[in-house]
């Protein structure tokens, strides 16, 4: 879908580009992550502020701050009673600094409002489907306008408050006048977090000038002065330059990838032109990156569903004994007489079990429309067929050379054959080529003693390509091995896949090239190869009349791009070497035109592994894939977020595949065609079809020669079944997890070597097995924000854990945990009521006279009330072991509460194993236990007998519960409830 247009002002459109309306989940996640980072900085600041408030750090004594030497707060009385009036009698004025509180709580309000906005946008973006908004934009527009005009005022306000706070702290020598501060507040860790928070607010404000600059640039581009520069014709040139600059930047970042030969002077022209044709620049279809991801994943499942349905129909036909029309076999696959002979009645084939007798395999091939599949029988390579055995053994043998040319031959030339480091060509003295003793140049480094190196080129450019000429004494052959794609120059050649005529090349090399076409990039490389071989005359000398190798066979091998070059080179050399053989391992799928590819069956053998994407990448295949992608995207009937969650969860078996697809996709016949998206697709396809009828795009290129397809029937990438495939089988790009790894050359020699041709026919290759879940643990399927995979009870646990954490924190921070009443006993046996105080775990409450007109009698406790000021206990006060234990338990319970909240919050995003809920319940039980041990303070001297021998009296104290104690009780109950909730989740998992 296109970007959401929010509003238009002065001719400028404010849009959500590059995101569409249903892509704002990504924006929400990014912004939420940003807010979480701010919260991580904010939380320590708030905790530090509250702790300092408990300790009286927010109090100003006579206008001086706590880091000033003039600051004096607190008394040394034994009974902890120190009144505000007492301080005032000593000319001490206490005021409260609220600037820090204003900044922190304003930040909390801003984060809360923005999180609320994020949730609203998240919900609104979940309306509709990727191709139908269904009123989604009407909800999103006011939210975005509110964000731009209202919520973003907060960062400006917070920056102003923060700057004012810094100025206030630093003025007048940090508020200390002529005295030197005891420490500098801007050198503390808290100040660093404050600075990080301020920087994040400043970065948010950069969004506005960025948007304004972008709009100005777009306005300049649309102006008459530069409109000609951005014409349709120049778009291809700009794309070409852009691709060239990308490749050059990659080359600068990693010199090992090559790229030194890229001058950005037309190398990318063909690919840029093809890319613009492929995307049909004139008729745009509004698709964003998230559409590509979701559509691509669903397309892979749709392909798997079609194959599964085709196989199920085949089984049903076989079981019911109905005749099956053999004309369902792919039309192009029936093009040759040999393939027509191999086709037979499938029902008879299955019921008579001739699969084992004739060693056939049932393959699923896409129809011409690309939407359906048919079943075709193909001959499996058999150990009883000498030709089949020879093909596999020979391919396994020569595949090593296709692998060695990548690195091993260069290392052998460099380390064993004394090739200078700055030299890119290994050339032996021509007089030594025919020497009977060639031990000095054998490839012993790689365990290939039967082969010796004759010539090698390691230079790599747009035309030049690394290759080597060797003599294989074991197979009595001269081998030319060509390297595949490894450098940026190779990628450029790969992308030049337009077809070029072979008329001129055929006249020069001696074959009939009239009416035939070839991959342009591969042809460019092969021309250079052909000329380089002619110039150095190594091949000519090896097959001269005086050479002991004149009776050897010539074999050309290569992998990937090297396989394509090997195919074209073998075509060019065959007039001179009629017995030439070529083995192309996983070559590109667009080398020769159809007729020429068939004529190469005599001397070219291609080896392709399973779902390898490279042999399937052709212009028609990509266009079919594009059209299928559009159809799948139009079929999505749920919000994109739901589709994203669905494709992120692996499909366990094939029956589940159909059910899952039905929940996300509507049938093709029910696609809503009266939508702007489908109208764009219809226009796109119409123009594309017209362009494909003319020009070079209408020439289809194929894989040359005979094709051995290695099918992985078990999904373990070990057991493969080789069969003789048709080049028409590879006219669809198969999207699978192994489509890239199947192209690797490294395991291919071992795969070919370990093939057991005696047992391949015993596999039920036409059956479909449950897909192994190799990607993720079934108990840990996905991580999705607020997806609640463990049920709604987890949400209640999060709320309860958060409340318990708040109660736990407040019970620690307040200075009214208990209310203490005392009776003082003197040596003369007289008693007097002591001062009652409100005491907390770490601080206590100052007393004050409630009457402002007269002073109170401080010796009369009833005349004093609690003030609003908290003060830490003086250093002279003794904290006994019970009080210390209560403090330690309070800290432990707070940490456990944090851990508990973290784990249950994680459980809202991902699936949890059953045994994990045991540990979660234990965490909450321990948190409840340690929270209860906070009441050990009632066993301390604060709430019992306190003696003062030096002053000759002692005091009996009695403590009652106060605010902090009630908070602690609430925390105990909530944590215990959380433990019960985890046990309930444990039982639920057991029942499931």
> Can you tell me the distance from the alpha carbon of 52 to that of 36, in angstroms, rounded to the nearest whole number?
24
The phi and psi torsions of 774 (rounded to 5 degrees) equal -85, -15
pLDDT tens digits, residue range 736-746?
Answer: 888 889 999 99
Matching residue, tokens 């630093």: 170
Residue scoring higher pLDDT (303 or 850): 303
CB 346 within 8 A of CB 314: yes
pLDDT band at 978 (very low <50, low <70, confident <90, very high): very high
User: Is the confidence at residue 663, as pLDDT, over 70?
Assistant: yes
pLDDT of residue 329: 39
Matching residue, tokens 């749709």: 302
Average pLDDT score over residue span 565-571:
95
Residue scoring higher pLDDT (666 or 431): 666
Average pLDDT score over residue span 228-232:
50
> Can you tell me the distance from the alpha carbon of 79 to that of 932, in angstroms, rounded to the nearest whole number?
27
Average pLDDT score over residue span 280-289:
65
pLDDT band at 694 (very low <50, low <70, confident <90, very high): low
Q: With H, G, I as helix, E, B as strand and everything else as coil, classify residue 545.
A: coil
- What percent of the chain stands above pLDDT 90? 23
CB 669 within 8 A of CB 635: no
pLDDT of residue 349: 37
Residue scoring higher pLDDT (374 or 103): 103
pLDDT of residue 260: 66
- Greatest mean pLDDT among 58-72, 278-292, 504-518, 833-847: 504-518
User: Is the confidence at residue 647, as pLDDT, over 80?
Assistant: yes
pLDDT of residue 125: 81
CB 590 within 8 A of CB 619: yes
Show Cβ contacts of residue 975 under 8 Å, excluding neighbours closer than 6 positions.
Answer: 804, 893, 897, 900, 924, 925, 927, 928, 931
Q: Of the ranges 19-28, 564-573, 794-803, which one carries the lowest mean pLDDT score?
A: 19-28
pLDDT tens digits, residue range 914-934?
Answer: 788 889 999 999 999 999 999
pLDDT tens digits, residue range 466-502?
Answer: 999 999 999 999 999 999 998 888 888 888 888 899 9
Helix (H) or strand (E) holding 59: strand 59-61
Mean pLDDT of the chain, nearest integer: 78
Q: Of the ranges 333-342, 355-364, 469-478, 685-694, which one carries the lowest mean pLDDT score?
A: 333-342
pLDDT of residue 269: 65
pLDDT of residue 234: 57
Average pLDDT score over residue span 934-938:
90
DSSP string, 440-502: GGEEGGGTEEEEEEEEEE---SSS---EEEEEETTTTEEEEEE--S-SHHHHHHHH---EEE-
> Can you tell me the distance from the alpha carbon of 548 to that of 81, in angstroms, rounded to the nearest whole number?
113
pLDDT band at 277 (very low <50, low <70, confident <90, very high): low
Q: Of the ranges 157-166, 244-253, 480-489, 876-885, which one carries the lowest mean pLDDT score?
A: 244-253
Q: What does each C-alpha distance from 30 to 7, 116, 196 come to in angstroms? A: 23, 15, 18
Average pLDDT score over residue span 960-987:
91
Q: With H, G, I as helix, E, B as strand and everything else as coil, classify residue 711.
A: strand
Token code pair at residue 62:
């006579």
pLDDT of residue 81: 41
Displacement of CA 197 from its chain's centroid (Å): 28
Average pLDDT score over residue span 579-584:
95
> Can you tell me the distance from the alpha carbon of 635 to that of 632, in angstroms, rounded to the nearest whole number?
5
Matching residue, tokens 């009595």: 476
pLDDT band at 949 (very low <50, low <70, confident <90, very high): low
Q: What's the burial of 562, exposed, middle or buried (CB within 10 Å: 0-12/13-18/19+)?
A: buried
> Can you tell me the distance from the alpha carbon of 794 to that of 421, in angstroms, rounded to the nearest whole number?
64
Show Cβ contacts of residue 186 under 8 Å, excluding neighbours closer than 6 positions.
Answer: 166, 169, 170
- What percent of the chain stands above pLDDT 70? 74
User: Is the confidence at residue 860, as pLDDT, over 70?
Assistant: no
- The H helix count followed by the E strand count for the chain is 31, 27
Token code pair at residue 954:
């002692």
Residue scoring higher pLDDT (264 or 923): 923
Token code pair at residue 98:
């609220």
pLDDT tens digits, residue range 598-613?
Answer: 999 999 999 999 989 9
> Can you tell me the distance from the alpha carbon of 93 to that of 85, in angstroms, rounded to the nearest whole number?
10
Token code pair at residue 922:
């234990």
Residue scoring higher pLDDT (371 or 228): 371
Strands (E), 685-836: 701-702, 706-712, 720-725, 818-825, 831-833
> Can you tell me the distance from the alpha carbon of 465 to that of 932, in angstroms, rounded to the nearest whole number?
76
> Can you tell me the distance from the alpha carbon of 434 to that of 609, in angstroms, rounded to the nearest whole number?
38
User: Both ends of the chain: CA-CA distance in Å?
Assistant: 40
> 448-457 and 517-519 as β-strands: parallel, antiparallel, unpaired?
unpaired
Residue scoring higher pLDDT (768 or 230): 230
Helix (H) or strand (E) holding 991: helix 963-991
- Greatest mean pLDDT among 68-82, 348-362, 690-704: 690-704
In 3-state terms the chain splits into helix, strand, coil percentages (rounded to 5) of 50, 15, 30
- The model's pTM: 0.67
> 553-559 and 581-585 as β-strands: parallel, antiparallel, unpaired?
parallel
DSSP string, 171-236: HHHHHTTTSPPSS-GGGSHHHHHHHHHHHHHHHHHTHHHHHHHHHHHHHHHHSTTTTGGG-HHHHH
pLDDT tens digits, residue range 388-445?
Answer: 999 999 999 999 999 999 999 988 888 888 888 778 889 887 777 877 666 788 888 8
């Amino acid at each position: 879908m296109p970007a959401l247009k929010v509003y238009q002002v002065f001719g400028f459109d404010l849009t959500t580009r590059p995101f569409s309306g249903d892509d704002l989940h990504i924006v929400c996640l990014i912004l939420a992550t940003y807010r979480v980072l701010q919260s991580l900085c904010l939380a320590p600041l708030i905790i530090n502020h509250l702790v300092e408030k408990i300790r009286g750090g927010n109090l100003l004594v006579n206008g001086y701050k706590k880091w000033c030497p003039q600051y004096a707060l607190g008394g040394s009385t034994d009974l902890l009673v120190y009144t505000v009036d007492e301080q005032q009698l000593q000319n001490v004025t206490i005021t409260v600094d609220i600037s820090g509180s204003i900044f922190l709580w304003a930040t909390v309000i801003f984060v809360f409002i923005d999180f609320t906005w994020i949730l609203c946008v998240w919900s609104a973006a979940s309306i509709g489907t990727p191709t139908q908004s269904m009123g989604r934009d009407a909800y999103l527009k006011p939210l975005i306008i509110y964000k731009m005009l209202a919520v973003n005022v907060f960062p400006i306000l917070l920056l102003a408050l923060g700057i004012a706070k810094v100025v206030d702290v630093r003025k007048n020598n940090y508020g200390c006048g002529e005295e030197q501060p005891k420490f500098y507040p801007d050198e503390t860790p808290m100040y660093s977090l404050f600075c990080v928070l301020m920087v994040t607010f400043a970065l948010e404000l950069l969004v506005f000038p960025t948007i304004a600059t972008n709009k100005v640039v777009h306005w300049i581009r649309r102006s008459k002065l530069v409109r000609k520069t951005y014409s349709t014709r120049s778009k291809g040139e700009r794309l070409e330059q852009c691709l060239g600059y990308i490749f050059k930047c990659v080359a600068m970042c990693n010199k090992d990838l090559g790229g030194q030969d890229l001058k950005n002077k037309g190398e990318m022209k063909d690919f840029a032109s093809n890319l613009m044709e492929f995307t049909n620049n004139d008729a745009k279809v509004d698709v964003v990156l998230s559409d590509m991801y979701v559509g691509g994943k669903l397309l892979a499942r749709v392909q798997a569903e079609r194959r599964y349905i085709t196989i199920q129909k085949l089984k049903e036909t076989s079981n019911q004994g109905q005749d099956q029309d053999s004309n369902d076999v792919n039309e192009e696959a029936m093009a040759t007489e040999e393939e027509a002979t191999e086709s037979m009645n499938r029902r008879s084939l299955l019921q008579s079990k001739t699969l084992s007798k004739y060693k056939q395999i049932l393959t699923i091939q896409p129809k011409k429309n690309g939407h359906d599949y048919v079943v075709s029988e193909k001959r499996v390579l058999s150990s009883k067929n000498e030709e089949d055995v020879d093909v596999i053994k020979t391919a396994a043998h020569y595949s090593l050379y296709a692998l060695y040319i990548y690195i091993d031959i260069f290392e052998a030339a460099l380390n064993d054959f004394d090739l200078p480091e700055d030299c890119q060509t290994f050339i032996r003295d021509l007089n030594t080529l025919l020497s009977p003793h060639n031990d000095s140049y054998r490839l012993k480094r790689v365990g290939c003693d039967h082969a010796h190196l004759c010539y090698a080129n390691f230079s790599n450019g747009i035309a030049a390509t690394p290759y080597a000429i060797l003599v294989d004494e074991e197979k009595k052959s001269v081998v030319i091995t060509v390297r595949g794609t490894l450098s940026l120059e190779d990628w450029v050649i790969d992308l030049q896949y337009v077809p070029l005529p072979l008329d001129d090349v055929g006249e020069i090399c001696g074959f009939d090239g009239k009416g035939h076409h070839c991959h342009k990039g591969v042809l460019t490389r092969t021309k250079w190869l052909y000329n380089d071989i002619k110039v150095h005359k190594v091949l000519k000398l090896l097959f001269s009349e005086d050479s002991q190798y004149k009776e050897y066979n010539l074999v050309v091998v290569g992998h990937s791009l090297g396989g394509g070059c090997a195919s074209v080179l073998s075509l060019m050399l065959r007039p001179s070497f009629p017995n030439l053989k070529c083995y192309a391992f996983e070559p590109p799928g667009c080398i020769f035109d159809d007729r020429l590819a068939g004529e190469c069956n005599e001397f070219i053998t291609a080896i392709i592994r399973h779902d390898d994407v490279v042999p399937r990448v052709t212009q028609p295949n990509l266009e079919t894939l594009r059209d299928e992608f559009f159809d799948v995207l139009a079929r999505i009937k749920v919000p994109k977020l739901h589709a994203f969650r669905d494709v992120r969860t692996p499909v366990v078996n094939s029956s589940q595949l159909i059910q899952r697809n039905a929940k996300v996709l509507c049938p093709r016949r029910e696609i809503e065609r009266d939508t702007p998206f489908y109208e764009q697709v219809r226009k796109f396809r119409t123009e594309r079809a017209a362009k494909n009828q003319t020009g070079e795009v209408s020439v289809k290129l194929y894989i040359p020669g005979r094709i051995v397809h290695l099918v992985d029937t078990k999904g373990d990438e070990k057991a493969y079944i080789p069969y003789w495939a048709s080049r028409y089988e590879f006219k669809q790009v198969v999207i699978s997890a192994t489509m890239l790894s199947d192209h690797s050359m490294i395991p291919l020699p071992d795969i070919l070597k370990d093939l057991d041709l005696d047992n391949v026919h015993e596999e039920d290759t036409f059956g479909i097995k449950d897909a192994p879940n190799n990607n993720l643990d079934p108990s840990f399927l996905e991580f999705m924000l607020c997806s609640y995979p463990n049920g709604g009870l987890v949400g209640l646990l999060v709320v309860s854990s958060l409340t318990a954490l708040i109660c736990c924190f407040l019970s620690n921070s307040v200075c009214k945990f208990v209310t203490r009443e005392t009776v003082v006993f003197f040596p003369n046996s007289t008693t007097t009521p002591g001062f009652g105080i409100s005491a907390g775990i770490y601080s206590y409450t100052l007393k004050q006279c409630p009457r402002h007109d007269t002073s109170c009698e401080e010796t009369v406790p009833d005349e004093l009330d609690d003030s609003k000021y908290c003060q830490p206990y003086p250093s002279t006060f003794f904290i006994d072991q019970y009080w210390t234990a209560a403090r330690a338990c309070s800290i432990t319970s707070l940490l456990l509460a944090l851990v508990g909240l973290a784990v249950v919050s994680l459980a809202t995003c991902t699936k949890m194993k059953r045994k994990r809920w045991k540990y979660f319940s234990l965490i909450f039980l321990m948190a409840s236990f340690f929270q209860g041990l906070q009441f050990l303070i009632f066993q301390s001297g604060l709430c019992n007998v306190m003696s003062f021998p030096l002053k000759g009296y002692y005091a009996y104290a009695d403590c009652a519960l106060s605010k902090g104690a009630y908070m602690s009780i609430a925390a105990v109950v909530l944590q215990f409830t959380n433990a019960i909730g985890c046990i309930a989740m444990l039982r639920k998992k057991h029942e499931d």
